[in-house]
């Protein structure tokens, strides 16, 4: 059976699109730069705040990114104040978390959202102590899809990568899970289309949390069969 699970945050555990788009547009308004639509924001997220702001500026015609540092600083300040704005867990997520806890699994969150905001969102939505470890983007580790942080989480949980289930909603998450040697599920309720998810080549694509539970059960059955065959 799986000993641990690592979740992506935005688009996987929580619907944060409104908070992201709202924060970007507040920041751009302050700077006198055109904002973005909700759907544009959906396409721009997944690689951290710097990439989100870079794509926003380029969409507004700022090809040379002359205001990038200023815009990023304003966005980070605004987002710190609004990172839980209209944020809610996706349907079935609280039950999935409880199912995993009953299985004795350690639970982690790994996000390209800045660390301070990632921790704040998770603890606000799910409560402190629900997850055993929460890591957002920090200076001491490269952001996803580099596998370093996910491997550190597995090590902290005393689990081999093959004993960890990685769940995300984007091509970035698929690349992260693969690089770490973890079984990877991409969910369809997040920020990417099914076509993008299929092209990313995860272990599985899930349309509901019930399908993730079935993946866990099948892994348990497989491990039990292997144990029975051992001399």
Average pLDDT, the chain: 96
The domain total for the chain is: 2
124 lies in the same domain as 204: yes
Q: Give 63's pLDDT tier (boundaries 50, 70, 90).
A: confident
For residues 160-182, give the mean pLDDT.
Answer: 98
- Name the active-site residue from 8, 10, 15, 183: 8
Residues in the chain: 231
pLDDT at 21 over 90: yes
CA 126 to chain centre: 15
pTM for the whole thing? 0.92
Element (H, E) at 6: strand 4-7
8 lies in the same domain as 23: no
For residues 84-102, give the mean pLDDT.
Answer: 97
43 lies in the same domain as 110: no
94 lies in the same domain as 201: yes
51 lies in the same domain as 95: no
Q: Give 226's pLDDT tier (boundaries 50, 70, 90).
A: confident
SS3 134: strand
**For the packed helices 68-82 and 17-31, what is the interaxial angle rounded to 10 degrees?**
130
178 lies in the same domain as 150: yes
Domain extent, residue 142, equals 4-15+88-229
142 lies in the same domain as 109: yes
For residues 69-85, give the mean pLDDT.
Answer: 96
207 lies in the same domain as 151: yes
Of 43, 62, 82, the residue at which a domain comes to its end is 82
116 lies in the same domain as 148: yes
Q: Give 172's pLDDT tier (boundaries 50, 70, 90).
A: very high
Beta strands in 73-198 (DSSP E): 88-89, 106-114, 133-137, 164-168, 183-187
78 lies in the same domain as 123: no
42 lies in the same domain as 93: no
Of 35, 65, 82, the residue at which a domain comes to its end is 82
Q: Specify the CATH number for the domain of residue 109.
A: 3.40.50.1000
Of 65, 82, 99, the residue at which a domain comes to its end is 82
Q: Specify the CATH number for the domain of residue 56.
A: 1.10.150.240
26 lies in the same domain as 40: yes
For residues 165-172, give the mean pLDDT.
Answer: 97
All residues at 6 or more sequence positions from 218 whose CB lies less than 8 Å from its CB, including other chains: none
Q: Is residue 8 annotated as a catalytic residue, yes or no?
A: yes
pLDDT at 231 over 90: no
158-159-164-169 Cα dihedral, nearest 10 degrees: 40
What are the pLDDT digits (tens) for 104-125? 999 999 999 999 999 999 999 9
């Amino acid at each position: 059976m799986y000993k641990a699970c690592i979740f992506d945050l935005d688009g996987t555990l929580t619907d944060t699109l409104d908070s992201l788009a709202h924060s970007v547009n507040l920041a751009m308004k302050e700077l006198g730069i055109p904002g973005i639509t909700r759907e544009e924001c959906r396409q721009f997220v997944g690689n951290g705040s710097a990439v989100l702001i870079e794509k926003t500026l380029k969409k507004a015609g700022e090809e040379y990114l002359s205001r990038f540092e200023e815009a990023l600083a304003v966005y980070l300040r605004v987002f710190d104040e609004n990172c839980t704005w209209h944020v809610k867990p996706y349907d079935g997520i609280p039950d999935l978390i409880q199912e995993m806890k009953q299985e004795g699994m350690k639970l982690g969150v790994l996000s390209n959202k800045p660390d301070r905001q990632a921790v704040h969102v998770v603890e606000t939505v799910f409560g402190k102590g629900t997850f055993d470890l929460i890591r957002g983007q920090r200076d001491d580790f490269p952001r996803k899809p580099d596998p370093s942080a996910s491997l550190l989480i597995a090590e902290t949980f005393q689990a081999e990568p093959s004993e960890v289930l990685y769940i995300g909603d984007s091509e970035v998450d698929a690349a992260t899970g693969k690089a770490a040697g973890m079984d990877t599920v991409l969910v369809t309720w997040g920020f990417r289309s099914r076509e993008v998810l299929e092209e990313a080549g995860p272990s599985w694509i899930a349309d509901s949390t019930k399908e993730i539970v079935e993946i866990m059960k099948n892994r348990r059955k497989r491990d039990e069969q292997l144990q029975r065959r051992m001399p």
